[in-house]
Amino acid sequence: MSKLKNKVAVVTGASKGIGASIAKHFAAEGAKVIVNYVSSKEDADSVVKEITNNGGIAISIQADVSKEADVIRLFEETKKAFGTLDILVNNAVFQQFLPIEQASPEAFHQHFDVNVLGPVLTIQASLKLFRDNGGTIINISSGASKSPMAGVSLYSATKAALDAITISLSKELGAKKVRINSILPGATETEGATSAGVTPGSEYEKMFIANTPLGRRGQPEDIAKVAVFLASDDAAWITGEQISVSGGMYGF
């Protein structure tokens, strides 16, 4: 398949979970992929190895998207490796289940620096590297931006902010032939969700499944397939949208 043939894509936070699945699906569709990671080099290299073993092209680049110098280096290395950029996926995320009494200034900044400042910095850098015929930006938001639950007020606020950025920039960047959309996953089975306490058989998982019309948690590939569509020419007339991929949990 070749929906993304010869496209160059940066996927942040791509060493595991949704980001890793997006990177693999992009590569399977012909894209050259930069697998960004902040600390999990072994996991990122494993994603790259799987891609290359299947005939794809990928490299891993370490960068903390909340740090401007790291973001600049990430895109400099992307340019050095592939010369240009066509697709940016903002997937890197910080999340804690945190009652408001424990929402310290440090926790606030951890959430907003990674989940909001990070995408702003990567978008700024990507605009300098996109080709003359434009580019595509996909922000991985969350159903929590529309339907926040207890204990994730900071996380939910960052995702609502990211959706607002998506809408605003769709109007700002359209003249530059840059499309930007948000994907809002529902309860998805990832390493991050597990570390946050949503483990198989847990009360959190039972609650999510009970409130999901399709009766299961999502898998990373459920999100990745939609990302491929949004990155491809099939979505050439779509920008500024917030697309729920949640088994119906947030489809209201």
In tens digits, the chain (252 residues) has pLDDT values of 699 999 999 999 999 999 999 999 999 999 999 999 999 999 999 999 999 999 999 999 999 999 999 999 999 999 999 999 999 999 999 998 889 999 999 999 999 999 999 999 999 999 999 999 999 999 999 988 888 888 889 999 999 999 999 999 999 999 999 999 999 998 777 676 656 656 676 666 677 777 777 878 779 999 999 999 999 999 999 999 999 998 777 643
Report the predicted TM-score, pTM, of the whole model to 2 decimal places. 0.93
Question: Which of the following is catalytic: 37, 155, 204, 250?
Answer: 155
Told to judge if 204 belongs to the known catalytic residues of this protein, a careful annotator would answer no
Query: What is the greatest pairwise CA distance in the chain?
Result: 50
Round the CA-based radius of gyration of the chain to a whole number and report it: 17
Residue 124 has which token pair? 């700024």
